[in-house]
A and B are shown apart, each in its own frame.
Chain A
Amino acid sequence: MAIEVRVPTILRTYTSGEKNVSAAGESVSALIEDLEVNHAGIKDRLVEGGQPRRFVNIYVNDEDIRFSGGLETPLSDGDVVVILPAVAGGSR
């Protein structure tokens, strides 16, 4: 099972500069575990206390996983996962 994962610039230090990597897993959380095997350290940038980080967006086939089951969102062969850091900030 191959899932294509698009990695944002800021996380490419974990993927040797690669923009697209392939990983496997039947859910987003399993996919992240698999990513961690080959790209040690990336998990901590995506997950905090068992939840997706507040300021990281993960999309499965263009849908934000916050609206589709979070880390338990199921995956199947050929799905595309996009990771994007939130663009956010503020004066406080």
Chain B
Amino acid sequence: MLTIDQATYDAIVAHARRDHPDEACGVVAGAVGSDLPTRFIPMVNAAMSPTFYEFDSTDLLRLYQEMDDNDEVPVVVYHSHTATEAYPSRTDINLAGEPEAHYVLVSTRDGAHESGPVEFRSYRIVDGEVTEEEVTVVERY
């Protein structure tokens, strides 16, 4: 199960809407072993594409160095799908490199604007195997 606070949830949705129709991506870091996503880090989609996302390689190194220095791990890795459902694609599954992360998928296909619905779902992706999990949104931790 993913437990996430309302402000971080809202920030992920806002980022996805802002970058629509391109895919938005980022990380929510949290203390090692806590499983709590606390530090929202929107990333630039270096692919700038409506069907693909990739962190820039220099940004990626900096991000991991920073998390290392703070004793953090990427608790959540999120990205948006802008024309399809919020379910991991074959590409998402093949490239998932963080077996301990919650992979959050947001779909803006009907919710690019403030009023529209946004799907927000979370998965574990380990060895090519996808398991959807419950998302619990709390006011604060």
**0/1 interface trace, chain B 51-74, chain A, CB 8 Å (1 if under):** 111110110110010000000000
Q: Which residues of B contact A66 (CB under 8 A)?
A: 57
Q: Which residue of A lies closest to B61 (CB)?
A: A59
Is B5 among interface residues, defined by CB-CB distance under 8 A?
no
Contact A64 B57 (CB under 8 A): yes
Q: B53: shortest Cβ distance to chain A, in Å?
A: 6
A interface residues, tally (CB under 8 Å): 19
Known contacts A84-B64, A86-B97; A91/B83 CB under 8 A: yes
Instruction: Give complex CA distance A64, B55 in Å.
Output: 13
Write the residues of chain A forming the contact surface with B, with a CB cutoff of 8 angstroms.
Answer: 8-10, 55, 57, 59, 62, 64, 66, 82, 84-92
Residues of B in contact with A (beta carbons under 8 Å apart): 23, 25, 27, 43, 47, 49-55, 57-58, 60-61, 64, 77, 79, 81-84, 88-89, 91-92, 95-100
